[in-house]
Amino acid sequence: MALTFGNTSAPNSITTYLDSLFALSIANYRKTLTDNIGASNAVLHEILESDAYEECEGGTYIGEPLMYALAAADFYSGYDELSTIPTDGITQADFVWSQMACPIVYNMKEVFQNKNKIVDLVKSRIQQSEMGIQETFAQAFLWGNYNNGGAITTEYVSSNNGSLGVTPLPKLVSYNTSGSAGTALTVGGLNENSYSWWRNQYATSAATTYSGFIYELLNMYNTVALGTGGPPDLILMDQVTYQNAEHAYFSIYKRNEGSKDMEYPFENFRFKNARCVLDDKIPDAYSGAPGVETGGIVSPTTLTYGTAYFLNTKFLKMRYLPERDWEMLTDENGKTFAKPINGDSRVGHVAWMGNTTINNRRKQGVLAKIARSYSS
């Protein structure tokens, strides 16, 4: 159905198709869509708002170059022979492409019923898709395949077609990586138990007092800060852990925690040089399970233990294909919407292709099995 605006007796006219209106609206809305996806959890927000959201060319894999050894420098004097021994200290982590699409669907009855509010119909359908993308993306990134009977450390697997989601944070920064009770993960094609330089930091909390809890936070922060690359700049916590951290800080130092950024879209405070952030979807890394979500909100009482991720976001990235950066899919004729053979509706899809990656796991850490309450 074509929508005609103005006097039909005019000498010239412009006809606008609803398909085109949707496509143009998505194109104009794409930056807002990306920002809102970032608002679904803090680490995605940090990545999408920084240079870590990078486009990359197509290929079989997304490659992240890794440097795990330095060239051997030495002193010399006069005619001493200089070393020419090459250093084999560069390799690559490979991440598979992940594709995601969300439908935008309308039927012609809705069009007829909303002739006077057609812009509202377009807006509501786009927002409906946006919210679906936000929730799916956030769960896949923080919960992995848990909701499908898998683990938080494995990629989300579509129950419809078996396709994989993005690499989840509990895999990029895993708990108990080198411990005897831990399961060795392969991240970017590299087994973390085979290469000590490809393991992130981890610790099991044993604190029973606020003082002990603060010490554990300080210890993990400083451990991640060791070596080149700087300290963590983002600490993600579940709600109870975040509240205990605030209370512990005041109990120990007798003053409020570091300043809050009121412009930041998440509850936060400064812990040393890092932004400490509350995110309700942070899972229990020790138990390997997220909390129970009801109505889009995870109840903090449904987690057995707390978890804190200490992240240096300089080494976390999200790579995407420019042709699939939340673009409307088109057919061979350039059309974005199609009519089913046996229906009176129109279907289009907004799509993304890329993956979350990491190129330095040593600069990341996780503190798990954090108690839910402490003695003073």
pLDDT tens per residue across span 95-130: 999 999 888 888 888 777 777 776 677 777 777 777
Q: Are 368 and 207 within 8 A, CB to CB?
A: no
Q: What pLDDT was estimated at residue 180?
A: 44
- Could you tell me how far CA 258 lies from the centroid of its own chain? 25
> Which tens digit of pLDDT belongs to each residue from 126-144?
777 777 887 888 889 999 9
- Could you tell me how far CA 177 lies from the centroid of its own chain? 21
CA–CA separation, 347 vs 354, rounded Å? 23
The lowest-confidence range among 62-66, 166-170, 239-243 is 62-66
User: When comparing pLDDT for 251 and 147, which is higher?
Assistant: 147
Q: What pLDDT was estimated at residue 283?
A: 95
The lowest-confidence range among 30-34, 64-68, 198-202, 371-375 is 30-34
Q: What pLDDT was estimated at residue 82?
A: 80
Q: Are 223 and 234 within 8 A, CB to CB?
A: no
Average pLDDT, the chain: 83
Q: Which two tokens mark 22?
A: 């949707």
Q: Are 98 and 354 within 8 A, CB to CB?
A: yes
Q: Are 321 and 354 within 8 A, CB to CB?
A: yes
Q: Are 70 and 87 within 8 A, CB to CB?
A: yes
CA dihedral sign of residues 297, 259, 142, 134? positive
Q: Is the pLDDT of residue 14 over 50?
A: no
Q: Are 361 and 200 within 8 A, CB to CB?
A: yes
Which among 54-63, 308-317, 338-347 has the top mean pLDDT? 308-317
CA–CA separation, 311 vs 201, rounded Å? 10
HSE value, Cβ hemisphere, 13 Å, CA-based, for 157: 11
Place of tokens 């006219």: 13
pTM of the entire predicted model: 0.84
Average pLDDT over residues 151-176: 93
Q: Are 341 and 347 within 8 A, CB to CB?
A: no
Average pLDDT over residues 229-237: 94
> Which tens digit of pLDDT belongs to each residue from 254-281?
666 666 777 787 788 899 999 999 998 9
User: When comparing pLDDT for 320 and 57, which is higher?
Assistant: 320
Place of tokens 């005609």: 4
Residue 339: count of CB within 10 angstroms of its CB: 13
The lowest-confidence range among 132-146, 211-225, 275-289, 327-341 is 327-341
CA–CA separation, 373 vs 376, rounded Å? 10
Question: What residues pair up with 277 in beta bridges, in sequence order?
Answer: 236, 268
CA-nearest of 250, 244, 246, 220 to 234 is 220
Q: Is the pLDDT of residue 214 over 90?
A: yes
Q: What pLDDT was estimated at residue 356?
A: 94
User: When comparing pLDDT for 27 and 307, which is higher?
Assistant: 307
Burial of 229 (0-12, 13-18, 19+ CB in 10 A): middle
CB proximity list for 132: less than 8 A, separation 6 or greater: 102
User: What confidence tier does 92 reach under pLDDT thresholds 50, 70, 90?
Assistant: confident
Q: Is the pLDDT of residue 91 over 60?
A: yes
- Could you tell me how far CA 287 lies from the centroid of its own chain? 21
CB proximity list for 301: less than 8 A, separation 6 or greater: none
User: When comparing pLDDT for 351 and 371, which is higher?
Assistant: 371
The lowest-confidence range among 122-131, 158-167, 197-206 is 122-131
User: What confidence tier does 69 reach under pLDDT thresholds 50, 70, 90?
Assistant: low
CA–CA separation, 142 vs 278, rounded Å? 14
